[in-house]
Structures are given as structure tokens and as C-alpha cells.
Amino acid sequence: MTEHEYDVVIVGAGGAGMRAALESSQRAKTAVLTKLYPTRSHTGAAQGGMAAALANVEEDNVEWHVFDTIKGGDYLVDQDAAQILCEEAVQAVLDLEKMGLPFNRTTAGKIDQRRFGGHTRDHGKAAVRRACYAADRTGHMILQTLYQQCIKQDVEFFNEFYVLDLILNDDPQSAEGKDVAVAGVIAYELSTGQIHTFRAKSVIFATGGAGKVFKTTSNAHTLTGDGMALALRRGIPLEDMEFFQFHPTGLAGLGILLSEAARGEGGILRNSEGERFMERYAPTIKDLAPRDVVARAMANEVREGRGCGPNKDYVLLDLTHLEPAHIDEKLPDITEFARTYLGVEPYTEPVPVFPTAHYAMGGVPTTNNAEVLRNNHDTIKGLYAAGEVACVSVHGSNRLGTNSLLDINVFGRRAGIAAAEYALTTEGYDLPADASALVSDQVEKLRATVGGGGTERVADIRRELQATMDRNVQVFRTSESLAEAHTLVGELQARFKNIAIHDRGARFNTDLLEAVELGFLLDLAEVVILGAEHRKESRGGHYREDFPTRDDKNFMKHTMAYKTKDGIRLDTKPVVVTKYQPMERKY
Amino acid sequence: MSTADATTPVVEPLRPIRSGRSRNHAEQWSWLFMRGSGVLLLVLIFTHLFINLFSGDGVNQIDFAFVAGKWASPVWKIWDFVMLVLAMIHGGNGMRLLINDYARETWMRKTLKTLLTACVATIVVLGSLVIFTFDPCPLDASGDLLPGVPTFCEDVR
Amino acid sequence: MWMWVVHRTTGVAIFFFLVVHVLDTALVRVSPEAYNDVIGTYKTPIYGIVEAGLVAAIALHAFNGIRIILVDTWPWALKHQRALVWVVWGLFALLMIGFLPRHLSHVFGGA
Amino acid sequence: MTATAEAPTKAGEVPSFDVTLRIQRMDPDGTPDHPAGEEYWEEFTLTMHGTDRVLDALHKIKWDVDGSLAFRRSCAHGVCGSDAMRINAKNRLACKTLLKDLNPKRPITIEPIKGLPVEKDLIVDMEPFFASYREIMPFLMTSGPTPERERLQSPEERARFDDTTKCIMCAACTTSCPVFWTDGQYFGPQAIVGAHRFIFDSRDEGEWDRLEILNDKAGVWKCRTAFNCTEACPRGIEVTKAISEVKKALNTGAV
Ligand SMILES: Cc1cc2nc3c(=O)[nH]c(=O)nc-3n(C[C@H](O)[C@H](O)[C@H](O)COP(=O)(O)OP(=O)(O)OC[C@H]3O[C@@H](n4cnc5c(N)ncnc54)[C@H](O)[C@@H]3O)c2cc1C
Ligand code: HEM
Ligand code: SF4
Ligand code: F3S
Ligand code: FES
């Protein structure tokens, strides 16, 4: 075991983690712990763009952006947070440009912007060009640029360190008003199998999403919701976990994402009859409606028998009317995905697509300064969260495309500043002598299963979990489907206790870590299902066939899920409404 | 907290060059030389080979007299000299690159490079001496022409 | 990659040949007889073949050297470097077709 | 191993076939049959489908046959750069290589990328690779006051270095370069690609610092235009071209 001591420890080196590191490392002694090399983080997979009302190509303003964000999130958005997000957006984009990010340019040399789903001019009148982009690899360029700046600043990285526990000085579920603070984190070093303790005055969680609870997903294999699950296990609530975004255009059967930019650049969705069906669902902005609307429309077309292909289980994304040169310039990567993985030539053939699990709107609840909340009022001193792991909540029940790259930059920066400044004011808390006990215990137990009596395989349980989630908790949900999922996940959790792994080794034991990650996924799946069962309405990404309308009277509030000794306890938290009263959501 | 509005401190510019390695552009010159000499060598060697092996009677014509005949002309003397020097430096430099690539231990590198330099130097010196002190009509101890000298030697006498 | 291996090997081969070649030519300073003796062995069939190999090596090295120079300096050549590899082999084949029969007839016929 | 097309497939069903993977393994902790650090080959025969990639086959082994097989992966669609490996003697991304494109009739050989120390099975130590990248100062360098809005750049200026911005640092290029194999000293093509991205960025003013570094013994002049890098790059970056543009800049003194 090795012990370390830092002012600020950042867990995760995606966009949010590195943006925070840039701020924090200038102010305080900072370490970044990441289970992947920073440049492997899934921020790099983001394609379409980053929203900001720069008004470089047409009239636009922050207020319209705020409105779109709130409406897009079906009014479950905390409006003060949305205001911050959109106001700081302009500076966030300009900051990245100054760090060297190679945005696409207008002929005048300014940052170019394009259309994206749900982003409109003047409160919904027409689609607006708000997404700043670098071809269809905006996230890649953000990740690279932030990493480069981290190199410039000599940020200290601990690569391939898996954070497996969070240490607080007290129980976060203790009475309101009491001081609960962070003491540090425990990490497992992949290359040696060693356990490291990090004492820290501040800890920032930036561990990204949890898409792997689903089978069909645009998320990486490594997006197993570690940060959320760790927080949950230590008694910190999770907010709005039932809201998961299903992105309309995943490559059929594979889930690999084709950015909304494809539609932003003019791509059209068609059913088996060749009909542009979005005209029926969203007459004004058609294919550029928000993702929940489009995903549901697609799933509905397939259900009503207008799906394409031998099994009639997907629809088509048609780019054939676009100039090949235009496609090459604006959408080079995603068209290559279609070629590589489906053997489809997008210049001449429409591409088979179907909704894919994409983004967790929910997560660890935070204030607008990224401080983690342990109930509706109190923060945990020194603990911060930013990025997809967090729920501020700027996305409400449905995130608008390009608002997440914005989120990680705005709130990543805020988290970095706040964490460092707090760290400079405190001595921090000492780790207890047995701080790493839980982790070493967990690791040793798993090692001991090699060749032992365990009969269950990690992969089998994971496959069943993902299949259940896809079948029952996807675009359409009912009380029956959720109940089925609930029972199944319960069974899987029981079976998980009886697993056996193969690899006893100390070095690069990825077998062991996959088992740990499955544990996280199982915990999170339960929270997602419970939240969805409880929310008897349809809103944004959560659609209950048995309750197909939005119910502001009973459910205009955030879900808060707490893990207690007796299982998950659900509670609610009010939504912050400042200017925009809920209205019917039409596009 | 209003911390998020705090301005970002300016980052000190880094030392201009971090890499502590030597840089006297030697490798650039070597690279340019390889290309320059390559082109020249192409002309020199192909002509050389053409004359020696292809034209006339091919390889069979080569003997002392043939060499003497060629070197009677200063053009061929210079030609062969330039070719010799360029080829040896080009080849020698090429061998140096190989040594750099394959010999990992410093002592090995050093030894090989010393050997190489010695070898190239000897060959260049020896070759130049031969070309420029060449006597087409050497005499034996008794003052007679050695056998095998070109026929024109008779006239010279 | 394979052209790089070829270039390297031929370069080294030529280098060592050149060393030997200068040494034997140096014999012209010793005596015509000594020189002619050594050169005489070049005219045996075995040496004839070695000599052909040498010409082949030089030709390949030289043509490929030119290809490398072109690729380094001329964007068109860079783009079509694969085609140029075939051009190198083509030129090489042509040269050898021109040279070999004649050389071998000198070697095997004449001596 | 012969591929056996299975009994007539239903319409729309992806045909399946048998394929053998021959994987180079090494366990730093040792196994009952192999001492620590020994490199050995192991074969696995699997039934796979037409749309499956090499990564799917590796997962199938890891998940269903032998959990100790170690390799890196994350995004599974060729954007994170985790899973470069030597597949049938060529560097590729496992997640971007379809089995059916590899002639599944013959065993598919899979080795770790060459030239970096192997840590376990297909995992190599990437630190030397990233160290080279760090050394070329891969960040925008500017002088003078920071403008309030964005620095202007025309689409043409932007296009100049577009190709090299695509790099995902998978190391497929560097570890396919024969010069890098012979000599760990060489910065390797990726570092040059990384430098190229800034050298030709009209906003950057550090180009001569970087060019000086690349003018070094370990720099661009080590490149023997072997083109392996260009052929290996999964992002289709014209790596040799980028290197040649850097050489040209050094030779002409103009960027
Ligand atoms: C295919 C795709 C396309 C997208 N396109 C867009 C778009 O166009 N516009 C937009 O705005 N948004 C887009 N998004 C969403 C957006 O990219 C993500 O939400 C965002 O990048 C998340 O960033 P992050 O920093 O929170 O997490 P990530 O980038 O996922 O980083 C997570 C980090 O946490 C680390 N980590 C995780 N667990 C642990 C642990 N236990 N210990 C240590 N480290 C850990 C990982 O190593 C990693 O470094 C897209 C998402 C996907 C999947
Ligand atoms: C005939 C005309 C010749 C041409 C056009 C030529 C061209 C070249 C070029 C351009 C290179 C540099 C390759 C690179 O940097 O990648 C080179 C390398 C080399 N040349 Fe030549 N050359 C010729 C003759 C010779 C001769 C006569 C010798 C031997 C004495 C020789 C030995 C070498 C060696 C050893 C190398 C180094 C190879 C390497 O590092 O891979 N060359 N040649
Ligand atoms: S240049 Fe290509 S091969 Fe090399 S690291 Fe970058 S993406 Fe990989
Ligand atoms: S493979 Fe190596 S030699 Fe040059 S062209 Fe590529 S870096
Ligand atoms: S897994 Fe990300 S590139 Fe292959």
C-alpha cells in the first residue's frame, strides 16, 4: 500500500476532469487519477459540437439558449443552473479556442456554427446555428486540447488508477446541518495491483457516464458509472437517475453513434415507405426535434410495422441528397463508421439506424458550484462532481445535443476553482487507519474466487442485465416492464454474490476490475428502475406508456435516491424555476 | 460562493526547449548530403559501370592496360576520384546510420564507428594515392617495362 | 517497408564491395601482373555472377534512392509512392534485361 | 482451421463461421504452465459472425473462455486509441478490424504492438510513447496580449493541419516504424504528427521551437520513408506526408 497526500484529487480525466485540473493545478497541489489514459476518455467520442450563443453566423442570444435548454429538458431543469450554463458558454468556447482548439471556421475566419436538435431562434421559431464544432470530432478535439494544456502545465496524472472507494469523515445521511467532509479516495493501480490511499482536502468526481447498464449504447466499455455507484454506496444520494437519453441515430444493431450533426447538416430520417416521418411528429423542426422526441418517433414507426430491413427493426438515415464533398468536409468520421461497421456507403445508400442508450441526465446532485449535496440542502465539504457523473441539473429530463460538452467545460472549470480554493482554506481530514480495508477486502475476496466454488460468470450476469435493461427500461416503459426488470436485477444481484473470476494475478488484472465494474452497474440499474417505476408520468427521456402525459402537479420535482441499510429510499427535491413556467412542449 | 467568477491566473511560459538533447543540425546535413551525393553518384557510377562492364568487350576487357588507358586522361582521374570520395562518404555515412540504429551499447557504437572511420579514411587515402600517383608504365628493377603495361608505353619510351 | 530493407541491404553490400574494389584497384600501384591476376578472377563465371549481383544491387539502390529523393521533395511522388515502387522494379528489370545477357555472354562466352 | 459456413442462414441473419485466433501471451506473474515473463502462443477457436470485429473475438475469449487474457479497450469504435495491436503482422485497431476482412480460413495471429515493453499479453508500456509526445511541446504557443474574441483563422489555414488533428494517439504508426524498432531513440511518427498539428497552425508561434526539437538526432531525419506508419494509421492520416512537410520546413526555413 502506498500513501499520497494532495490538496485536490480529481477522479477522471475526461473533459470535465481535465478542465477542472487546469484550474485547480494552478492554485493547489493537484493529482488526477484516471482509469484510462486521459486521451482514451469517452469525451473523445463526442462528435457534433458544443453549444454557445456566439452569434457568429446568425442572430442568437443567451436567453434563447437558456429557454431551449429548459424546454428541451421538459422543465425539470434547474433554471438558475441553466442560466449559468448558457451565460458562461460563450467564454467556455472562446477559452478552448485560445487553448488552441481547431474549430471549423467561417469564411471570415470566425468559429463556424451549425444547427443541432432543439436549439432554436426566438423561443422555438426555427432551428438556429449554435453548435461550435470541429468537423464531427468536436469531443476529440476538446479532449486533445485539454490534455495538451495539462501537459503544458505539468499536471500530475496517475494513469490507470481505478478509484474504488471514497472516504468521508462522517455518514452523509446524518442529520441536516451537521458537517460532513471528504477525507480522500482509495485507488487500485492496474499495472501492479497495489492499493493506494490518497488523502485529499478536496475531491472532484468526473468519472463520466454509465451507459453500460444498457446493451445497445454509444458509450464505451469503460463507462460503468463508477463515480455514481461509489457515491451511492457511501450514502450520497443520486438524482434523477430514471432519465436516460436514447440517441436516435445509433448504427442499427451496434449502437455506435452517428451524430445529430448528420441531421444538422441536412440528413433525413425515413421509414420503410420512404416517408419523412418526423414531419408528423414535429411539424416545425422535423428531424431536428430533441432526442427524446425523435427516438420515440423512431421506435413507434418500428412498432407500427414501418421499420426497414429483414426484421423491420430499424429506420433509415438518408444522406444521399447531400454532396459527397460536403459530407467529407463536415461528417467524415461518422460516414466512415457506416462503411466500416455496416458496409453501407452513405453517399449512395441510406444508413440503418436505431435509438441507442447515450447519456445519463441524472447523477450525483451538486450545487451550481459543483459541490456535492448530501440531501436537499447540505453539501459535503470538499467533495465536488462535474460532467456526466453529476446532476446540476442543467439537462433536466432530456439533454439537448451539444449541451454536455458545454456542461463539462463550464462546470468542470467551476469545480476546479471551487475545489482548489476550498482546499487552501482547510487542513483536511485524516484518513482512518483502516481506510483501504473495504477495497482490499473486496479485491482479496474476488481473487479468492479464482478456482473456488463460485459458479456464476461476470460476463453472463452483465449480458443478462444489459438485455433486461434494453428490453424493459428503454425508450418505452410500463409498470409491467419495470417490474420485470426490477425482479430480474434483484436476481442478478443475488447471483453476483456467487461469481468466480479467472485471473488471480496482481498485474493488469482486468478480469477482476470487470467484476468490480459489474457491481457498480447492478447498483445503478436498480436505482434507474426504481426511479422509473416511481415516476408515473412521461417527461423528456422517461416515457411511461401507462402514463403518457407529463404530470406537473405530482412530478415536477427531482428524484433523489438514497442507499440505506434497508435498500434504496426515494425522496424528491424541488425544481428551481426562475423565469419560465412549464408549458406544453411542442416542436 | 462566487469563486467561479475568479479570473484564471496566467500560466508562466515554459522554457523554450525542454528536450535536453544536442542539436547542431548534423543530422540535417547528413540527410541533405545523402540525397545530393546520391544524385551525383547515380551519374558517376552508371557511367563507370557502363564503360567498364557494358561497352566494348564488357568485363573481359578489364586489365591493367585498360585502367592505364583510362587514367591517361585527367577527366577519368578526376571522375574516379570524385566517385571514390563521394561513394565512401555516402556509404560511410550510411553505415554510420546503421550503427546508430543497431548498436545499442555505447562502447559497441564507439568501437564500430572508430573502425568505420578508419576504414573509410584508409580507403579514401589509398584510393586517391593510387589514382594520382598512378604510373601507367611502371618499370621493374632492371629498368624494363613490366609485362602487361599498355602498348603506348613503348612509344613513350 | 520492404523497399527500406532492400535499400539498406544493398547499401551495405555495395559499401563492402567498394572497400574490396578499391583495395584490388590499388594493386595497379603494385604491379600490372598482380592487378591482372586479381582481375582475372573477376572474369571467371562465379565472379561474373557476383558482379551481376553487384550491378543489380547498385541499380536497385540507385533507383530506389531516386524514388526516396522524389518522395521527399515532390508531393506528387509522395502520393504515388506505391506506384513508384513498381516503377523502381520496372526500371530495374529493364536494366537487368539489357545488361544481363550481354554481361553473361561476356563472362561465359568470352573467357 | 477451416471456416465452416453454418447450415443455411435465415434471411437477415448474419452468417456465422469458425475462426481461430493465435494470440501471443505473457503473464508477468506466471501461470502453472508458463513461468513469469515467458512469451508463448495460445490458440482459441470460436464461432463468430460476419459483423464481428477482432475486439468481439477477444471479448468472447475473455468473457467466456479465459478471463485472464489482458488487453486494453474502451470506445469499441476506433476513436479512443486503446486497442492498437499487431493483427496478422500489421498494426491495426482490434475494434476497427472485421474478422471477415482477415480471411478467417487461416488462423489470425495477434501480438502486442512492437517496440514498447510488453507488460502482459497484449498490453504494452505506453509511457515512452507519451514521453515523446510530451517532448515536442504539443500545445498552442502564442505571444502578445490575448484577444477578447477568438483568434481568426481562415478555412484554408485551418485545412492546412486538419489531417494531423485526427490523431488518437493509438501508437499504431510509431510501433510499426522499422526505425523505431531498431532504435528506441527515435521520437517516432506520432510525435511528428503531434508537432505538425501545431507547426502548421497559423495561430501558433512556437513552430521553430518544435522544429528545432525535431531537427535533433532523434528527430525527423531518422525517418527513412518506410511508409509503414501511413499504412498503419487507423485514422487515415497521411503520416509520411506530414513528416515530409516538417522536413521541408526545416530545409527551406519556411513554414
Ligand atoms: C458517442 C457520443 C457522442 C457525443 N456527442 C456529444 C456532442 O456532440 N455534444 C455534446 O455536448 N455531448 C456529446 N456527448 C456527451 C458527452 O460527450 C459526454 O457526456 C461527456 O464527454 C462526458 O465527459 P466527462 O468528462 O464527464 O466523462 P468522460 O469523458 O467519460 O471521462 C470519464 C473519466 O473518468 C475516468 N474514470 C471513470 N471511472 C473511474 C474510476 N473508477 N477511477 C478513476 N477514473 C475513472 C475515466 O478514466 C475517464 O477519464 C456524446 C457522447 C457520446 C457517447
Ligand atoms: C548509385 C547511386 C546512389 C544513390 C542514388 C543513392 C541514394 C541513397 C539515398 C537517397 C540514401 C538515403 C536513404 C534514406 O535516407 O532513407 C542512401 C543511403 C545509403 N546508401 Fe546510397 N546511393 C547510391 C550509391 C551508394 C553507394 C555506392 C553506396 C556504398 C558505398 C551506398 C550506400 C548507402 C548506404 C549504406 C546507405 C544507408 C542506408 C540506410 O540508412 O538505410 N549508396 N543512398
Ligand atoms: S498518427 Fe495515426 S497511427 Fe499514429 S498515433 Fe495517431 S492515429 Fe494512431
Ligand atoms: S514508418 Fe518510419 S521511417 Fe518514416 S515514413 Fe513512417 S516514420
Ligand atoms: S477501443 Fe477505442 S479505438 Fe478501439
How many Cα atoms are found within 13 Å in the side-chain-facing hemisphere of A436? 17
Residue type, D4: T
Q: Where are the domains of chain D?
A: 16-124, 127-141+154-252
* Ligand 3 center from residue A197 Cα (angstroms): 35
Q: Domain containing A263 — which CATH number?
A: 3.90.700.10
3-state secondary structure of A500: coil
- List all residues of chain A from 119 to 148 with a beta carbon under 8 Å from chain D: 134-135, 137, 140-141, 144, 148
Adjacent-strand bridge partners of A499: A456
pLDDT band at B3 (very low <50, low <70, confident <90, very high): very low
Confidence at residue B155, expressed as pLDDT on a 0 to 100 scale: 58
Q: Give the distance from residue D28's alpha carbon to the nearest chain A alpha carbon, in angstroms.
A: 7
A106 SS3 class: coil
> Which residues, other chains included, contact A468 with Cβ-Cβ below 8 Å and sequence gap of 6+?
A484, A485, A488, A489, A492
Is D222–B25 a contact, with Cβ atoms under 8 angstroms apart? no
Confidence (pLDDT) at D8:
41
Residue whose C-alpha cell reads 467532509 in the numeric block:
A181
The one catalytic residue in A291, A399, A535, A585 is A291
**A356 CA to centre of ligand 5 in angstroms:** 18
Kindly report the backbone phi and psi dihedral angles of residue A153, in degrees, each rounded to the nearest multiple of 5, phi listed first.
Answer: -90, 5
Q: How many CB pairs under 8 A join C and D?
A: 28
Atom 6 of ligand 2: nearest residue by CA position: B38
CA distance A22 to A30: 10
pLDDT at B8: 45
B7 has a pLDDT exceeding 90:
no
The neighbours of chain B, by the rule of 3 or more Cβ pairs under 8 Å, are: A, C, D
d(CA A227, CA A112): 35
The burial class, CB within 10 Å (0-12 / 13-18 / 19+), for D168 is buried
Residue of chain B nearest C73, judged by CA positions: B35
Contact between residue A501 and residue D67 where contact means Cβ atoms under 8 Å apart: yes
Burial tier of A45 (Cβ tally within 10 Å: 0-12, 13-18, 19+):
buried
State the Cα–Cα distance between residues A53 and A514, nearest whole angstrom. 41
pTM of the model: 0.91
Phi, psi of D95 (to 5 degrees): -80, -5
Q: Is the CB of D140 under 6 A from ligand 5?
A: no
Rounded Cα distance, A440 and A434, in Å: 10
* CATH code of residue C29: 1.20.1300
Average pLDDT over residues B103-115: 82
Q: DSSP secondary-structure letter at D52? A: -
Q: Ligand 2 center to residue B41 CA distance, Å?
A: 9
Q: Is the pLDDT of residue B11 over 50?
A: no
Q: Which domain holds residue C82?
A: 2-109
How many residue pairs bridge chain A and chain B with CB atoms within 8 Å of each other? 26
Kindly state the cell numbers that stand for A128.
438556429
Interface probe with D: pick from B11, B22, B28, B104, most Cβ of D within 10 Å: B28
CATH class in words for B32-137+144-148: mainly alpha
CA distance C2 to C80: 16
Within 8 A by CB and 6+ apart from A119, the residues are A51, A65, A68, A127, A128, A130, A131, A400, A401, A402
| Residue A349 forms part of a structural domain | yes
Any bridge partners for residue A569, and if so which? A562
Cell 460532467 belongs to A387
- Whose cell is 497552425? That residue is D201
* Pick from A452-461, A545-554, C37-46, D17-26: least confident: C37-46
Phi, psi for residue D89 in degrees, rounded to 5: 65, 15
Q: Cα-atom radius of gyration of chain B, to the nearest Å?
A: 27
CB contact at 8 A, A560 and A530:
no
Chain A residues in contact with B3 (beta carbon < 8 A): 369, 414, 417-418, 421
Question: Do residue A23 and residue B11 have CB atoms under 8 angstroms apart?
Answer: no
Whether D225 sits inside 8 A of C5 (CB atoms) is: no
Sequential pLDDT tens for chain A (587 residues)? 899 999 999 999 999 999 999 999 999 999 999 999 999 999 999 988 999 999 999 999 999 999 999 999 999 999 999 999 999 999 999 999 999 999 999 999 999 999 998 899 999 889 999 999 999 899 999 999 999 999 999 999 999 999 999 999 999 999 988 999 999 999 999 999 999 999 999 999 999 999 999 999 999 999 999 999 999 999 999 999 999 999 999 999 899 999 888 998 899 999 999 999 999 999 988 898 889 999 999 999 999 999 999 889 999 999 999 999 999 988 888 899 999 999 899 999 999 999 999 999 999 999 999 999 999 999 999 999 999 999 999 999 999 999 999 999 999 999 999 999 999 999 999 999 999 999 999 999 999 999 888 889 999 999 999 999 999 999 999 999 999 999 999 999 999 999 999 999 999 999 999 999 999 999 999 999 999 999 999 999 999 999 999 999 999 999 999 999 999 999 999 999 999 999 888 77
Q: Is the peptide bond before A393 cis (omega within 30 degrees of 0)?
A: yes
pLDDT computed for residue B10 by the predictor: 43
Read off the pLDDT band of B83 (50, 70, 90).
Answer: confident
Q: Do B23 and D216 touch (CB under 8 A)?
A: yes
Measured CA to CA, the distance from residue A452 to residue A458 in angstroms comes to 14
CA B39 / ligand 2 centre spacing (Å): 10
Q: Is A562 left (phi over 0), alpha (psi -120 to 50) or beta?
A: beta
- The one-letter amino acid at A302: V
Please give the pLDDT value at position B156.
Answer: 52
Q: How far apart are CA C99 and CA C57, in angstroms?
A: 13
Q: Determine the Cα–Cα distance for residues A169 and A181; give it in Å rounded to an integer.
A: 6
- Chains C and A: 3 or more CB pairs within 8 Å of each other: no
Q: Which amino acid is at A512?
A: L
Tell me: pLDDT of D12 over 60.
no
**Grid coordinates standing for A533?**
417505476
pLDDT in tens, D206-227: 888 899 889 888 889 989 899 9
> Does the residue A289 lie in any domain?
yes
- CB B105 within 8 Å of CB C2: no
Residue B76 has pLDDT above 70, yes or no: yes
Closest Cβ opposite residue D215 in set B25, B102, B104:
B25
Round the CA-based radius of gyration of chain D to a whole number and report it.
21
CB of A12 sitting under 6 A from ligand 1 = yes
At D190 the pLDDT is: 96
Interchain proximity B32–D219, CB inside 8 Å? no
d(CA D86, CA D175): 9
Report yes or no: D152 at the A interface, CB cutoff 8 Å. Answer: yes
Residue C2 burial (C-beta neighbours within 10 Å; 0-12, 13-18, 19+): exposed
Task: Map A413-461 to HEC letters.
Answer: HHHHHHHHHHHCCCCCCCCCCCCCHHHHHHHHHHHHCCCCCCCECHHHH
CA–CA gap between residue A304 and residue A541 (Å, rounded): 20
| Confidence band, pLDDT 50/70/90 cuts, at residue D3 | very low
What b/e readout covers D73-106, taking b as 16+ CB neighbours within 10 angstroms? Answer: bbbbbbbbbbbbbbbbeebbbbbbbbbbebebee
Instruction: Give the cell for residue A213.
Output: 447498464
What is the per-residue pLDDT for D10? 46
DSSP B145: B
Helices (H) and strands (E) counted in chain C, each on its own, are 5, 0
C-alpha cell at A539: 417527461
The number of distinct structural domains making up chain C is 1
Report the gap between the CA of A159 and the closest CA in chain B (Å): 22
CB D226 within 8 A of CB C72: no
Q: Is A296 assigned a catalytic role? A: no
Check pLDDT > 80 for residue D17. yes
Q: Which helix (H) or strand (E) holds A83?
A: helix A79-99
Q: Who contacts A529 (Cβ-Cβ below 8 Å, separation ≥6)?
A: A242, A473, A482, A485, A486, A489
Q: Can you point out the beta strands (E) in chain D?
A: 16-26, 39-49, 84-87, 90-93, 108-111, 118-120, 123-124
Asked: is D16-124 a CATH 3.60.20.10 domain? The reply is: no
Phi/psi-derived region of residue A428, left when phi > 0, alpha when psi is between -120 and 50, beta in every other case: left
Could you say which of 1.10.10.10, 1.10.1060.10, 1.10.286.10, 3.40.50.720 is the CATH number of the domain covering D127-141+154-252? Answer: 1.10.1060.10
Contact call for residues A301 and A277 (beta carbons, < 8 A): yes
Q: How far is B92 from chain C (nearest CA, A)?
A: 8
For the cut 70, the answer to whether the pLDDT of residue B138 exceeds it is no
Q: Is the ipTM of this complex over 0.85?
A: yes
- Of A284, A297, A291, A286, give the one whose Cα is nearest residue A122: A284
Q: Once rounded to an integer, what is the mean pLDDT over residues D101-106?
A: 88
A233 in reach of chain B (CB within 8 A)? no
Give the structural domain span for A294.
244-358
